[in-house]
Amino acid sequence: MRRRLLLPFVLLLLAGVAEARLGGGHSYGGGGGGGGGGGGSSHGGGSRSSGSGRGRRLDLPAPVWFAIAIVVVTVWYFKKAEREGAATQAPPRRSPNPPQGPLLRRRDPAFSMPLFLDFVQLLHARFHVLRGTRDMKALSPYVAGTLLERAVQATPPGVREVKDVLVASSRVGQVQFGTSTRIPVIFTSNVTESDGVKETRWFLKERWVLSRATGVTSKPPEAMASLDCPSCGSSSEPRPDGSCAHCGQTVRNGQFHWFVTEISVISRVPARPPEISGGEEEGTDLATLVSPTLGADLRAFCTRHPDFDRAAFGAFARSTFLALQDAWSRQDWEAVRPLETDALFSTHRYWMEQYRSAGLRNVLGEIAIRGVTTVKVEVDAYYEALTVRIHADGLDYTMNREGRIVGGSNSRRRRFSEYWTFIRRIGHAAGSKAPEGGCPGCGAPLKLSMAGICEYCQAKVTSGEFGWVLSSIEQDEEYGG
């Protein structure tokens, strides 16, 4: 309670710090790199500014200096007590959110959460790109007309283009059933708006509600990966009245597919450059969120796959974790292209480019994994997913072009943990190891395009067709189960 009373004074004196790390331990909204495709942390970081008064003595009355000294000493005392108490107190207990996937599959056995999230992220990105053109009729089969009009009106007049839409996370809320099925989704994303001369990057947080008529079932993977006509699958752009130019059907209100009925902007603030300062992790000591049905789900999974080796999968998760930390430190993200889904790879590559363009390199060194805990198993008609919590520690610092450390520490180790989710397609023989040496489809030397496609046989290696791929990284304080 005393700490809460002191907080307003402390905030006047101290600037916050943001972490920098591959999985999003640095602030996504504040400009830190590597927000996960399934969930980047959105806590902000402090910044410092300097003016022309350098070298000038700060002239304050003695009582003010005395008050500042009291606050600083008090803050130090409570931080010290927190650190000492953390070793003896049990981690705070949390309950996982009720899983929404099983609820939806009871009414729609074809529902797949990975496919749904890919679809809504595609729709979200297209929505923002098209509002920059002021011509959004292509989305009329998927988004209410009033929302399209409102988006165009809300776009500043000087904006000529909206690009580089990067979804950091898309979190599904409580599903509602009735005459229609309604799914709320909270997006955190970055978008870049250009007026032709200047580009401004914005951090957005939005709540969308997607609705579908009761009884409508999910479409197959290839249809979920496009925004073609929900009625006939034609790629033709809708007519001005919203009807399909091929089948003539006017698609409205989710009678064939998911349809956006509500969009609320929670926040829209300028995104800052990558943070370079070190800081304490927020959720490392939180209790691990384990699915309440993990035991039964894991037994069922092992029954379907009697050759599944949990130890081998754990080793695979560890090797993937270390490979990604190394690639991030070397700023060589193409080296781990086979290990991530398209969305997550694009997110990480984007943040790496942000560091590179700023003349910075975030180094994650001497990483030691302290534990890998399986927390969730989910299976649908198309995908199997395993989520693990990984505890690790290591060095985390940022260097500039001259090799000087400008943030973090190359001597003090930092503890952290994250939730990593791996997926693979059902119906394909897939072991628990990353592709090594050759393409799993044709055996040729593994050379992938940015889309994750083998340049020899055109197989989509990063879709989970041939083995486990990483689909999301979520911070421990953000993960909901």
CATH number for the domain including 251?
Answer: 3.10.450
| Same domain flag for 203 and 307 | no
Give per-residue pLDDT as tens, 107-116: 999 999 999 9
Of residues 103 and 1, the one with the higher pLDDT is 103
- Confidence category of residue 302, pLDDT binned at 50, 70, 90: very high
| In a domain? residue 219 | yes
If asked whether residues 255 and 299 sit together in one domain, one would say no
Does residue 326 lie within any of the structural domains? yes
What is the C-alpha to C-alpha distance for residues 222 and 225, in angstroms, rounded to an integer?
Answer: 5
Are 218 and 238 in contact by the 8 Å Cβ rule? The answer is: no
- Indicate whether 118 and 266 sit together in one domain: yes
C-alpha distances (whole Å) from 70 to each of 1, 2, 116, 400 are 17, 13, 53, 36
- Average pLDDT in the chain: 79
Of 224, 255, 270, the domain-final residue: 270
Residue 66 predicted with pLDDT over 50: yes
In-domain check, residue 50: no
Is the pLDDT score of 450 beyond 80? no
The pLDDT value given to residue 47: 32
Question: Between residues 357 and 84, which one has the greater pLDDT?
Answer: 357
476 band by pLDDT with thresholds 50, 70 and 90: confident
Residue 236 lies in a domain: yes
> How many other CB atoms sit within 10 Å of the CB of residue 390?
22
Domain at 425, CATH number: 3.10.450.240
More confident call, 466 vs 183: 183
User: Do residue 211 and residue 316 come from a single domain?
Assistant: no
User: What is the mean predicted confidence (pLDDT) over 365-387?
Assistant: 96
Give dist(CA 144, CA 146) in Å, integer. 6
The sign of the CA dihedral 155, 159, 165, 168 is negative
Judged by average pLDDT, the poorest of 29-33, 75-79, 129-133, 295-299 is 29-33
Residues 6+ apart with CB under 8 A from 272: 30, 31, 45, 47
CA–CA gap between residue 257 and residue 111 (Å, rounded): 12
pLDDT band at 421 (very low <50, low <70, confident <90, very high): very high
Lowest mean pLDDT among 56-70, 120-134, 242-256, 418-432: 56-70
Residue 478 has pLDDT above 70, yes or no: yes
* Rounded-to-integer distance, Cα 223 and Cα 234, Å: 11
Count other Cβ atoms within 10 Å, centred on residue 107.
Answer: 13
Per-residue pLDDT at 237: 85
Q: How many helices (H) and strands (E) does the chain have?
A: 9, 8
pLDDT at 254 over 60: yes
Q: Tell me if 29 is assigned to some domain.
A: no
Give the model's confidence band at 372: pLDDT under 50 very low, under 70 low, under 90 confident, else very high.
very high
Tell me, yes or no, whether 265 and 300 share the same domain. no
The reported pLDDT for the residue numbered 206 is 98
Same domain membership, residue 300 and residue 264: no
Helix or strand (DSSP H, E) at 154: helix 145-154
pLDDT band at 3 (very low <50, low <70, confident <90, very high): very low
225 vs 420: which has the higher pLDDT: 420
Lowest mean pLDDT among 36-45, 132-141, 146-155: 36-45
To the question of pTM greater than 0.75 for the whole model, the response is no
- 31, 273 contact by CB (below 8 A): yes
Instruction: Centre a 10 Å sphere on the Cβ of residue 436 and count the other Cβ atoms it contains.
Output: 8
Q: Which two tokens stand for residue 49?
A: 């500014």
Of 271, 163, 268, nearest to 207 (Cα)? 268
Spatial contact of 237 and 127, defined as CB atoms under 8 Å apart = no
Domain end residue (candidates: 235, 270, 305): 270
Task: Specify the residue for token string 């989520």.
Answer: 387
Q: How many domains does the chain have?
A: 2
Q: Which amino acid, one-letter code, is at 225?
A: A
Domain that holds residue 105: 100-270
Looking at the structure, tell me whether residues 463 and 315 fall in a common domain.
Answer: yes
Q: Does 428 lie in the same domain as 302? A: yes
User: Could you tell me which residues come within 8 angstroms of residue 477 by beta carbon, excluding any fewer than 6 positions away?
Assistant: 41, 43, 282, 283, 286
Token pair listed for 171: 């979190």
Does pLDDT of 150 surpass 80? yes
Q: Does the residue 73 lie in any domain? A: no
Residues 266 and 298 in one domain: no
Between residues 358 and 444, the one the model is more confident about: 358
Instruction: Enumerate the β-bridge partners of residue 185.
Output: 172, 208
The residues, ordered by sequence, that sit 6+ positions from 355 with a Cβ below 8 Å of its Cβ are: 33, 274, 331, 361, 362, 398
122 vs 134: CA distance, rounded Å: 18
Pick the closest to residue 104 from 226, 225, 243, 212 (CA basis): 212
Q: Six-digit token pair at 449?
A: 């395009």
Percent of all residues in the chain with a pLDDT value above 70, rounded to a whole number: 70
Please check whether residues 155 and 189 belong to one and the same domain: yes
**Strand-pair partners of 208:** 185, 263
Shared-domain flag, residues 139 and 222:
yes
Question: So what's the pLDDT on residue 236?
Answer: 86
With respect to residue 34, please indicate whether it lies within any of the assigned structural domains. no
Cα 129 to chain centroid, rounded = 19
Does residue 252 sit in the same domain as residue 119?
Answer: yes
In a domain, 117, yes or no: yes
Q: Which residues contact 21 (CB under 8 A, 6 or more apart)?
A: 32, 33, 34, 362, 364, 396, 416
